[in-house]
Structure 1
Amino acid sequence: MHSPDIDTSIAGVLHRAVEVLSGAGVPSPDVDAELLLGHVLGLGRGQLQARAAIGATLAPTDAVEYFGLVERRAAREPLQHITGVAPFRTIELAVGPGVFVPRPETELVAQYAIDALQASPGPQPIGVDLGTGSGAIALAMATEVPHASVIGVENSPLAFVWTKQNFRRIAPNNARPVFIDLADALPELNGTVAVVISNPPYIPLGAIPRDPEVRLFDPEAALYGGVDGLDVVRTVSATARRLLHQGGTLVLEHGELQGAEIAALLEQDGWRAIATHRDLLGRDRATTALK
């Protein structure tokens, strides 16, 4: 443990925390150091920076608590597991062991579904998120398209604990979670859904994720999609074909090397207007298609 009794100024404590996190290979040590200290003190990053600038100090008990959290992050435990929350678009989700932590790149993928839902005709278009996990995409759709009806489908008992918690926390009156296998989901809605989106497990079984946060802490059920990584994609394609009305939209998140393979799979399944979309780093990240 790094002794916190040398310098308890906020600026000094943050400096030491950044050194510890940098030494452990944490990708964004400055940001994580500030977010962890803000979590201990109940402050936003701007408030924390303002206090550091005027030379404010930490109570010794806060410093001890803080460096305990820094050590956890240095062991590559995800920041969101330590703080218990993950921001996603306009909402904040409860996350922890057993559920996939939503990523910033998925916020852009969700935009395709939100745009399609907003453009759908009718007074209450239906959106479905297959494999909703924390509920991130479903709850973003529900809060940003309030006239829509949204269902988040999850098949992992461990993840569904978090799904239910976030639907209760955020409590949009136009959304509900459903626990069921993705292949069997929502037969009562066949042919009526406007948008189906999924961020399925898509890592091939033989591929090991580089980041320790993913490899050691994300649930395997949310990562691995069979030998070629596309087992769950095939299920999602079949379920979405059944659920969507004619002209309805499918949105799939996937790995950067899977765009062509997924486009071929969807074409074989009878989808049209198939398009691959890149993320902010120029990597293939999502594929959309129309029924």
Structure 2
Amino acid sequence: MVSRSELFRECQAALEAAGNPDARFDMMCIFQDCLGDRNPLFSPLEAVPTDAEALIRAMTERRISGEPLQYILGEWEFYGYPFKVGAGVLIPRPDTETLVDNVIQLCRGNGLTAPKIADLCAGSGCIAVTLKKELPLAEVSAVELSQEALPYLRQNVRLNEADVGIVAGDVLAESTAAALSGLDIVVSNPPYLTAQEMNDLQAEVRREPEMALDGGGDGLGFYRRLTPLWKRSLKSGGFICYEFGMGQHDKVGNILAENGFVNIKFTRDLGGIIRTVTAQKSEENNG
């Protein structure tokens, strides 16, 4: 049998040869998963069991082929909570934690102890589940259309023991919005990549569902349609919170302003990019 250090070096070299810039990180995640050890290289001379070696080699080959690490592992962390992921669902990203922070701060800053929240384009459920865990008295609904993503959403609600209502529906349909009225907060990380960005996607990102990425020609199609539709579901004084792509903040802000939203505030993500916006439905904006 091969030792941990020997197998690690061999697989890391194979990933590096395939052009993976994060080979060491990826292999550490794979070793931790397969060996059930958070520090697998603390025992470098320990022999790797035959079945674990076979699994590590197979997962390394999948990574070399360009399959996302998160899909290979089958689970990824978001805001400290575990989420099952795989083909057909968007991978939770750290940037989106900024959006969750926005909602939590809105609730705490406005005395919303039991807010009614709808997460649109919920995907894996990382936003909805996290909000329910962080705001236990909140009434949270997660809306998702994809038949591929819905099983992950349901699984993650169960995994995290979160009392989240799941709505299998189209966020762009009037009937869906009408069924979720009296909301304090609408939150969404909708598809926002432009046509050019879709054409230029890295091969690895192409493994993720197109419907969760493609925002139309300029990437703003969902914002233009969601904003006037879902403002009707918001209470007077309620909030809408969006994530968007780099450089889209001015246009997203304009869409919100054109629809009568006020107190439009932007937030930067951990990389310093303006990534999210919060806006309030004015008292007069009841249409």
Both structures adopt the same fold (TM-score exceeding 0.5): yes
Instruction: Select which of 143, 160, 163 maps to 2:133.
Output: 143
TM-fit CA distance, 1:157 = 1.5
Cα-to-partner distance string for 1:235-287 (whole Å, 9 max, x where unaligned): 22123311222222211111102111111111111111112222222222112
* Corresponding residue of 2:222: 232
Instruction: Select which of 179, 191, 201 maps to 2:168.
Output: 179
TM-fit CA distance, 1:42 = 2.1
Cα-to-partner distance string for 1:135-187 (whole Å, 9 max, x where unaligned): 000000000110111111111121112111211222223x2111111033242
Residues 1:194 and 2:184 aligned together: yes
Instruction: Select which of 37, 43, 52 maps to 1:51.
Output: 43
* Corresponding residue of 1:211: 202
Question: TM-score by structure 2 length?
Answer: 0.91
User: Aligned equivalents of 2:256 and 2:265: distance in 1?
Assistant: 10
User: Aligned equivalents of 2:200 and 2:187: distance in 1?
Assistant: 23
Instruction: Select which of 156, 177, 181 maps to 1:166.
Output: 156
* Corresponding residue of 1:109: 99
- State the SS of the aligned residue for 2:154: helix
Residues 1:289 and 2:283 aligned together: no
- State the SS of the aligned residue for 2:219: coil
Identity %: 31
4+ runs deviating over 4 angstroms = none
User: Aligned equivalents of 1:279 and 1:241: distance in 2?
Assistant: 25
Contact between 1:198 and 1:236, CA under 8 Å: does it hold in 2? no
- State the SS of the aligned residue for 1:272: strand
- State the SS of the aligned residue for 1:158: coil
Instruction: Select which of 17, 26, 46 maps to 2:20.
Output: 26
CA distance 1:121–1:245, change in 2 (3 Å): farther
Contact between 1:251 and 1:289, CA under 8 Å: does it hold in 2? yes
Q: Where in structure 2 are there 5+ consecutive unaligned residues?
A: 282-287
Question: TM-score by structure 1 length?
Answer: 0.89
CA distance 1:242–1:178, change in 2 (3 Å): same
Contact between 1:113 and 1:196, CA under 8 Å: does it hold in 2? no
Residues 1:61 and 2:51 aligned together: yes
Cα-to-partner distance string for 1:61-93 (whole Å, 9 max, x where unaligned): 321221111111111201111111111112111
CA RMSD, Structure 1 to Structure 2 (Å): 1.7
* Corresponding residue of 1:10: 4
Contact between 2:142 and 2:166, CA under 8 Å: does it hold in 1? yes
- State the SS of the aligned residue for 1:165: helix
TM-fit CA distance, 1:132 = 0.3
User: Aligned equivalents of 2:251 and 2:208: distance in 1?
Assistant: 25
The letter of the residue matching 1:25 is G
Instruction: Select which of 118, 126, 151 maps to 2:116.
Output: 126
Residues 1:279 and 2:273 aligned together: no
- State the SS of the aligned residue for 1:286: strand
The letter of the residue matching 1:106 is T
User: Aligned equivalents of 1:117 and 1:129: distance in 2?
Assistant: 15
Residues 1:83 and 2:77 aligned together: no
The letter of the residue matching 2:101 is Q
Cα-to-partner distance string for 1:45-74 (whole Å, 9 max, x where unaligned): xx323233xx22212332122111111111
- State the SS of the aligned residue for 1:261: helix
CA distance 1:129–1:209, change in 2 (3 Å): farther
- State the SS of the aligned residue for 2:119: strand
* Corresponding residue of 2:213: 223
* Corresponding residue of 1:152: 142
Contact between 1:26 and 1:76, CA under 8 Å: does it hold in 2? no
User: Aligned equivalents of 2:110 and 2:166: distance in 1?
Assistant: 22
CA distance 1:27–1:197, change in 2 (3 Å): farther
Contact between 2:113 and 2:135, CA under 8 Å: does it hold in 1? no
* Corresponding residue of 1:42: 36
Q: Number of paired residues?
A: 278
